Structure 1
Amino acid sequence: MSASDAVDFALAAYREEGVWQVAELTHDHAVDVETLASALRRFPGDGGAVGLVAVDEDFFIVVRVAGQQTRVMLSDVTAATEWELAASVVEYLGLPVVDEDVDDPEPAGDLELLSDLGVNAMDLASILDDDELYPDEMLSEVARGLGFGSLFDDTVGLTSA
């Protein structure tokens, strides 16, 4: 299975005149941080665009672009040992390669990247600490905190709770 086949979904979310919009990205956009950031820059959002990518029910990344600035968060740094997309986040962040013997999922990157939009680092950490949730459900919680939970759920096919 190629890396792009393992992508559960890749979305761009952005606000246009204060209203959240969600657009699907092709899985080919979710191969590395730079390709995803480049795809996100096409969206006209007020304050940039947010990319939400879930992979193989294993991990997710959030990428936020505003102009030339790119901010990134990886839900589980240990995914970098198995997935090229996660490894590209670790490389982008300049972090050391994770030891393959490490099993504890730990987030990496900028937990504050959505703070000004309504999901601060503590909220994000709380969502990430819930080991009962799959990545799509965690991102649904993030989307709900940002104000577009129903739109997110409809786009990815989650049933609202």
Structure 2
Amino acid sequence: MAQHEPVGGFAVAVVREDGKWRCSALDASALNDLDKAITELRRLRSTGAVFGMLAVDDEFFVLVRPTPSGVSLLLSDAAAALDYDVAADVLDLLRVEPPDEDDEEVWPEGDLGILADLGLPDDEMQVIASEVDYYPDEQLRMIAQRCGFEDQLDELLDRIAR
């Protein structure tokens, strides 16, 4: 289970304040460490919505949304917990057992309504998260497009890629 070498992907904080979207990079260590991602997101004090999007190794994505009472989470593929600490941490916080090694199914675990108040109802999130033909970055772009911050996300990802 110990996946401490750096993983590929990106970690992004998304903030909606005064009707405007803003995306910023989270520390890359957030891809390995859920607590780090949550702590970094909590530091982004905002009167509006704050959530994180982690795309890990072209394998799965995690949505992290701190709430006053804790944290709301969505993991796109529960089986990722068998290979990645950050995914195992998500299931841990959700108090969900990881799937069996030989389970071939891909299913999301967590709060499918995590972004419902931002224009993405849980049934649409279910469709996006279950879309096995797409890479996580493509799924996150679909989420961004649906919520209305696709341009801000693309701009940030272009900057990160340079």
TM-score of the aligned structures, taking structure 1 as reference length? 0.90
Coordinate RMSD, CA, aligned: 1.9
Stretches of 4+ moved more than 6 A in 1? Answer: none
* Higher mean C-alpha displacement, 139-148 vs 63-72: 63-72
Q: Secondary structure at the match of 2:6?
A: helix
Indicate the percent of aligned positions where both proteins have the same amino acid. Answer: 32
Q: Distance in 1 between matches of 2:5 and 2:14?
A: 20
Equivalent position of 1:105 in the other structure = 106
The answer on 1:14 being equivalent to 2:7 is: no
The residue number in structure 2 matching 1:141 is 142
Q: Which residue type is aligned with residue 90 of structure 2? A: V
Q: Which residue of 2 aligns with 1:92?
A: 93
Shift of 1:51: 0.4
Confirm or deny that 1:40 pairs with 2:41. Answer: yes
What is the total number of aligned residue pairs between the two structures? 158
| AA matched with 1:100 | E
Q: Does structure 2 retain, via aligned residues, the 8 Å contact 1:60–1:74?
A: yes
Contact 2:3 2:85 in 1 (8 A): no
- Structure 2 residue 78 is the aligned partner of structure 1 residue 77: yes
State the 1:42 CA deviation: 1.1
Q: Helix, strand or coil for the counterpart of 1:41? A: helix
How far apart, in 1, do the equivalents of 2:33 and 2:21 lie?
25
Q: Secondary structure at the match of 2:40?
A: helix
For residues 119-141 of structure 1, give each alpha carbon's deviation from its aligned partner in whole angstroms, at most 9, with x where no partner exists: 11111111123222110000000
Flag structure 2 segments of 5+ consecutive residues without an equivalent. Answer: none
> 1:49 matched to which residue of 2?
50
Distance 2:56 2:136 in 1: 8
Q: Distance in 2 between matches of 1:48 and 1:147?
A: 13
Tell me: CA distance 1:118–1:35, structure 2 relative to 1, closer, same or farther (3 Å): same
